[in-house]
Every structure is written in structure tokens, then in C-alpha cells.
Structure 1
Amino acid sequence: MRIHRPLADAVVGTLQEIFLNKRQADRAIEYVLKSNRKWGSRDRAFIAENTYEVVRWWRMLHYVIDAPDTLNKFHFWQAFGAWQLLKERHANSEESLFRLPDWTEFSKVSIPKVFARYEEATKIRKVIESVPDWLDALGEEELGEEKWNHELPALNQQAPVVLRVNTLKTNKEHLQDLLGDEDINSVLNNELPDALILEGRPNVFKTEFFKDGFFEVQDAASQLVAPFLDVKAGMRVIDACAGAGGKTLHIAALMENKGRIIAMDVEERKLQELQKRARRAGAMNLETRLIEPKTIKRLQESADRLLLDVPCSGLGVLRRNPDAKWKLTPEFIDGLRTIQYNILSQYSTMLKKGGKMVFATCSLLPSESEAHVKRFLEEQGDKWELLEERRTSPADEGYDGFYMACLLKK
């Protein structure tokens, strides 16, 4: 086992930023990678992958090293070291290989204790699957023990990199060939007409094809949402929780740049990012609007299609954002449920009669998803009809955990 000191320093420093200074994992990793231009692709991959792995398995590693609640930098060194040992043990059965560099930071890492504590952890679901007590209890309560046991391990698997081909500029066969020429290999997905699933984790953002707007990075489940809306060229569509606009741009491509898309959000910075991405993608049929008190009223009954991809816990995308499970709280999710239903009940007025609305979340919890649609239909069922709903399963399909419901306004 060979570990280079500067790379280990970078991982441990990033972990401290995430857990002690509460920085988002992706931003903390991005910052440290930009701090040393001399690192090669392998160095950068080691830092990013090991940081995400320790974050993903933090509770298990915390248990394995028997760390206290109050942490200092040496505990992160111990967790990093324990993770290297566990990976080595999983990959190779020769005990002679189980050793760490003779560094002071690893002096308290006992190999027999690490393996013994790990065996103990395998008997405690919330520890071995590395989730907080409250989340383990909530998942079992809402999904049932069998379903939660089925989905939980999948949430700890590294998600594949999936591209959505921008059909305003190219097609997937052509892009697959172009990327192949750059030694970036991919496979097609029969269910997703515009998707390429990459082999490995190459940095596609450095390619000219990304800069030219030939694709966006977008998970398979997320790529199902825009087609679920059943948009047609020439329609007037509102994406009312657009964020940085991944689904907005997909809608623009499906509409072939014909018609009008209004992308809305409460954060101006996200809409500015969407405008930048739209220019790169060649999406010419959209405008952005900041949501203000009178915005919804002004757009009443104006849309042929309405997308409500509401703010949620993100428990369906923990594969991509493992640090979220350490930052979320039950109280925060309670607040989100109120926001979600308010958006559904108030924003739905922007849809014309005869129009279709999609309500979507990237949460596994029915209380953030199906329960809202059920309540909405109970309260306004004389005006609405549920046409179709769908859930994606990280365990069964390998997609992120999304929920989407398509409703018709009578």
C-alpha cells in the first residue's frame, strides 16, 4: 500500500473543511484541487475519490476508529488510514499487505482493532450502512424494513457519470464517436434516447465538446422528468423551480427551440448560471424570471405545461452528495414538506385548463412525494386527474431515486 504524503494531507485537510467547517463536499474538493496545478489526473482522482469515500462511510469509520464526538485533525487521519486498510483487505486477502506508512498520524491506528470493530459494525445496519440514527429510523418507517434494507446499500454505491446529449447540436451516436476519439468510452441506454453512460470517471468538462454545448452531465433518472411532461414544439412551458436549469435545457431540446419556456427560481445566481448554460447549449426559446410576490399571480393560467421539480431532502441522490446525510436534520425535512406542498398548491394555478403538470422530487420518502399528490387530489380532485406516476430505484435500476407524477388540469 503506497500513499503519497501530499495527497493524504490534501484528503485530510478537505475532510476537516467538510466536517468541521461545514463546507459542501464538492466545493471543498474543487477548492483543494485548484490549489495545486502540478497534480496530475491520478493525483486528483485519488484526492476526490478518497475524500468522497470517507465522507460516504463516515459513521462506519467513526465507529471503527472509536472516535469521540468532539473531533480533531488526528481523527480524520485515523479515519483515512482505516479506510485504506479496509479497502486493501477487501481487495487482497494477504495480511502482510495490511500496513500503513510509519507516520505519526497513523500511530494510533491498530490494524487488529480496525478489523475487529469493522466486524462488529456489520451487525448494526445504521453503522455499517453509515447513516444517522434518525435517517435509518425514518427510512424504515416510510419505506418499510424490506424496502429500506433493499435501497440503503445502493445509496452508498458510487453513481455512474451519465451525459445527456444536446440534440439541438448533435446526436448520441455522433457524440459517442467524438468522445471515443478522445479515449472517453460510453454505452447507450435503451430507455433514455439522449443518454450516454460513461465508462470510468473521465473529466469531460475539459473537452471541447462540453465547451461547445454538445452535452450536459445529468443522471439517468433526471433525464426521465422532461419527457414525462409531454412537451411539444410551440408550447408555452413554465419550469417553476428551475435552479441551474438541467431539466429546463432538456425541455428546450425536446421542443426543438420552438415555443417559449419561462424558467423561474427564487435565487438569482442560479438563473444567471442557467443563462450561461443556455447560451452554451444554443437554447434560444427560454427566458428567466426571479420569483417575487406577484410573479405567480401574473402568470395565472398561462402555461400549456408546468414543471414543479420542488426543493427536497435529496435522499434519492445520496450517491452523488454523500455529505448531505450528515448535514440534513428531521426538522429541516419537516420544513421542506411544508414548502413542497405550498409550491404544489399555489404554483399549479399557472397551468391552463387542459394542460399537464409534473410534480417531481429527488427523494425516496413518500412524505415528500406521493403524500403531497394524494393530498392535492383530495383537496382539488374535481379540477385534476392523475395520469401517471413513477419512481426510480437506485437498487433496481441503478438510477438516482426520483419520484414524478403527471397530472392533467381538467
Structure 2
Amino acid sequence: MRLPGRLSAAIDVLTEVETRRRPVSEALKSWGQANRFAGAGDRAAIGNLVYDALRRRASHAALMGDDSPRSLVLAVAVRDWGENPKALSQSFAGDAHAPEPLTEAEIARLSAPAPEMPAHAAADVPEWLAQSLERAFGDSWVDEGRGFAGRPSLDLRVNTLKSSRERVLKSLARFNPQPTAVAPLGVTMPAGARDARTPNVTTDEGYLKGWFEVQDQGSQIVATLANARPGDQVLDLCAGAGGKTLALAAAMDNRGQIFAFDSDRARLAPIYDRLKRNGARNVQVRAPESGALDDLAGKMDRVVVDAPCTGTGTWRRRPDIKWKLTPELLAQRLADQSAVLNQATGFLKPGGHLVYITCSILPQENDDQVQALLATHTNLAVVPAVEAWQAAFGTTIPSGLATELGGVALTPHRTNTDGFYCIVLRRLA
């Protein structure tokens, strides 16, 4: 397919997403199944157009004076992919798969400098979240928002139970991987421009042998901050598919015990195959049944709570959820987090550590939640970010990452990672 056909397909997919409220991944898959003539390169390019349109939806709409799928995709082609408006319109002529030629008004808007726009549009975030983001990031909140409008890198975590970073770098050399800047066992491949395809590393021999897992560097960093040690008794209370469980098992060198639990069986299901592939032998999966964790009360050295959240930290990878988030959904997630934090405290032994993690950048889900927990649990104290970072990494925490309460906040703008929050609490008695 030529670019005009790809643009037309992206408009169709985005229309499907907007009108039927379908997840982007499902709409793209459905389009691919209905158009089997399209090759892998075509599907990748169309996916990039759709995701780029959603990442910068607000600023593209401000440029075009319209947020229709056509306007957003045309803005991506010109503003992000560097196409010339007039030349682009001319390329549509005679192409049966192209969109309608650009109007004079569209060419004028696409040719003009970016207009003045409200701060939330410049940041490419929902207007109702502007106040929260300003509270989280101060004067730099617009730049932080723009960081979430870019494409994410592909990050891997080396599984030290089976391999080394040097070995993984060598095995994936054809993709030009690089060591991550912060995570000590990470490997990264920066996102390409325009129609660049993301490497399919899950078919690589090293992945199949368990040498590495796909995991954002930010996720690796917060798993390291949990500071699990060989011999520890650890409860991963919201284990999900087991990404952080696997990181903890490797950090513990298969010594001690990890209890992996999740209240949702479907989320937990993939963990079994992943544990086997990674060679993680110190993990006991606890199914969500009544009394499944009763025997662990008051016995855990560490309780890791990767809490259910709004996912605002994943906006680069899932930009559609940015525009679907509502105050009602935020309120539900706050209630979920409060409940799981209160549950988690009961498993700590004296001197044990509670590690609270979210993939959110909203203060309501992060420092505010911990402040509320401390108000009702006087036997808990924050381990300051400086101390937690030094204990986990053996280095001084980078400037600007510590939150007011003593947590650690990661963002694309600050650390070139997804957005994550992590804070460590110690049980005093």
C-alpha cells in the first residue's frame, strides 16, 4: 500500500474506535483480518498513524479546528511524519484507495504555524486533569504531558536466572539494542519514526529460552525499588500476569519465597507459563479463593502492591484510554487502592516493608493515598526516597524524582520511561 491508502485505512480504523468505542488493538486487528492483502509493513504503518493521532489528539485538533478522524490523521501525516500538505493532496489524485483530496481550508491549516492553544491542548491531556497534573509537576506539567504524547521504546528485562545483559545484547544485535540508562538489567530499542516497525522479539530464541522478558524500564525500576533479597518472604498481592513477580524471583536468585496472588483469575492465568519459561522456582501462585492468604498474616518481609489504577502512566502505549478516563472511573480506582492498601498492611511482620506501586501520574492515586493510609496506620512510616533508592541501587537518586511525601515518580520527560510511582513503607511494630 502507498501512503494515501494507509491514511485512508487509518481514518477508517480511528472512526471505528471513535464511533463504536472499541479498543485500538481490537479495531486494528479487525481491519487486518478484513484486509488480508495488507502486509506486515502496511499494518504497522496504519497502527502508527492511529496511535500517533490519539497521542496528540488535543493539539492536532487545535491545529485543524476539528477532531474528526480525517483531521487527526492528516495532521499526523504533516505535523508528525513531515509530509507537505499540497504534495500530499496531489498524491491522492488517481489513487482509488486514497481519501478525498485536501480542501483549501485543510491545506491552509496544515501549512500555518501551530496556533495558540489552551495549556491542556498543548500538553495533549484531558482538560479536567490539568489541575491534577499541575499539582503533580508544577510549572513543568505541560512538558510532562507532552512527554506522554511521544512513542515509547521497546524495553526488555534480562532474566539473570538464565542469562546476562551482555548475552542478550549480542543475541539481539540485529535490532541495535542498548543498555537502559537506569535499570541495571534493562535493554532498550528506541521507537522509530513514521512507519517504523517495532521488533518482534517474542519470536526470538532468547525469549523462548527465558533469557529476557518485555518490560518497560520504569516497571523494572520500581521492581528494583522493592529491594527483595534472597531468603525473603514476599507477597505480590496484585501479581497480574507476573511481570514484577518474575523480576522479584530473579532478584532473590530463586531463594526465599514469593506468594503471587491476584483477585482476578484471568489476569493471573499467564503467570504459570511465564514462571516455567523464566526458570522461577521460588514462586507459589495463590488462586483467588476464600482464605487463600490467611496463613500469611503478619509473616511477610515485603508486601508488594502494584495497585489497580487509571493507567495514566501508560498513555504512550495506550493513548485511547487517555481520552476515555472519567472522574467516575478515577473515583472507583481510588476506592480499589484504599481497600488493597488496608488489606496489605495485615501481612507485614514487624520491620517488614510495604511497597506501593502504581502506573499512574495522578497525585490522588499516589502520595494522597499513602497520606490517607498513614493517618489510619500509625505503625507505618515512609522510607524516604533517597534511602530507598540507595538501598536498592547503591547510588544517589537522580534529581527531581522524589515526591513531596518521599515516593519516587518516573515519567517519559524525566526518565524516558512509562509513568510510575513507587513508595516504600516500613512497619514499626
TM-score (norm 1): 0.88
Give, in angstroms, the shift of residue 134 of structure 1.
0.9
Query: Would you say 1:133 and 2:151 are equivalent positions?
Result: no
Deviation at 1:265, TM superposition (A): 0.9
SS in 1 for 2:114: helix
- Residues 387 and 408, structure 1, Cα contact 8 Å, conserved in 2: no
The residue that corresponds to 2:423 in the other structure is: 405
**In structure 2, what is the Cα distance between the partners aligned to 1:383 and 1:207?**
45
Q: Which residue of 2 aligns with 1:106?
A: 100
8 Å Cα contact 1:77-1:106 kept in structure 2: no
Q: For residues 85 and 32 of structure 2, what CA distance do their matches in structure 1 show?
A: 33
What do residues 27-54 of structure 1 show as CA deviations (whole Å, max 9, x unaligned)?
4334444665654442232122111111
The size of the alignment, in residue pairs, is 396
1:196 partner SS:
strand
Report what 1:186 is aligned to. 177
Instruction: Decide whether aligned partners of structure 1 residues 151 and 210 sit closer, same or farther in structure 2, where only a CA change above 3 A counts.
Output: same
The 1-side partners of 2:180 and 2:372 are apart by 35
Contact 1:192 1:223 in 2 (8 A): yes
> Contact (CA 8 Å) 2:61, 2:71: kept in 1 or not?
no
Distance 1:198 1:382, change over 3 A: same
- Structure 2 contact 210–279 (Cα < 8 Å) conserved: yes
Say if 1:167 and 1:30 are closer, same or farther in 2 by CA, change over 3 A: farther
Q: Secondary structure at the match of 1:396?
A: helix
Q: How does 1:185-264 map to 2 (within 5 A)?
A: 185-200=176-191, 201-264=198-261
Report what 1:124 is aligned to.
Answer: 118
Q: Determine the structure 2 residue equivalent to 1:393.
A: 411
Aligned to 2:401: none
* 1:373 and 2:370 are equivalent in the alignment: yes
Q: Aligned pair 1:323/2:320, yes or no? A: yes
Percentage of pairs with the same residue? 30
Match of 2:156 in 1: 163
Which whole-Å CA distance do the structure 2 matches of 1:65 and 1:160 have between them? 28
How big is the shift at 1:385?
A: 4.8
> Structure 2 vs 1, CA of residues 106 and 64 (structure 1 numbering), >3 Å: closer, same or farther?
farther
Q: How does 1:230-379 map to 2 (within 5 A)?
A: 230-379=227-376
Looking at structure 1, the residues matched to 85 and 329 of structure 2 have their Cα atoms a distance apart, in angstroms, of 45
Gaps of 5+ in 1: 69-74
Aligned to 1:72: none
Q: Which runs of 5+ in 2 are unaligned?
A: 192-197, 386-406
CA distance in 2, matches of 1:169, 1:380: 41
1:209 and 1:10 map into 2 onto residues whose CA distance is: 35
Residues 132-167 of structure 1: per-residue CA shift (max 9 Å, x gap): 221224323x22650312311111111111110111
Q: Which residue type is aligned with residue 193 of structure 1?
A: P
Please give the residue correspondences for 1:27-42 in structure 2 after superposition, counting only pairs within 5 Å. Answer: 27-33=26-32, 39-42=38-41
TM-align CA RMSD? 2.6
Tell me the CA shift for residue 268 of structure 1.
0.7
Structure 2-normalised TM-score? 0.84
Question: How many Å apart are 1:10 and its aligned residue?
Answer: 3.6
Work out the CA distance in 2 between the residues paired with 1:101 and 1:10: 13
- One-letter amino acid of the counterpart of residue 196, structure 1: V
Amino acid at match of 1:112: I
- Aligned partners of 1:185, 1:63: CA distance in 2, in Å? 37
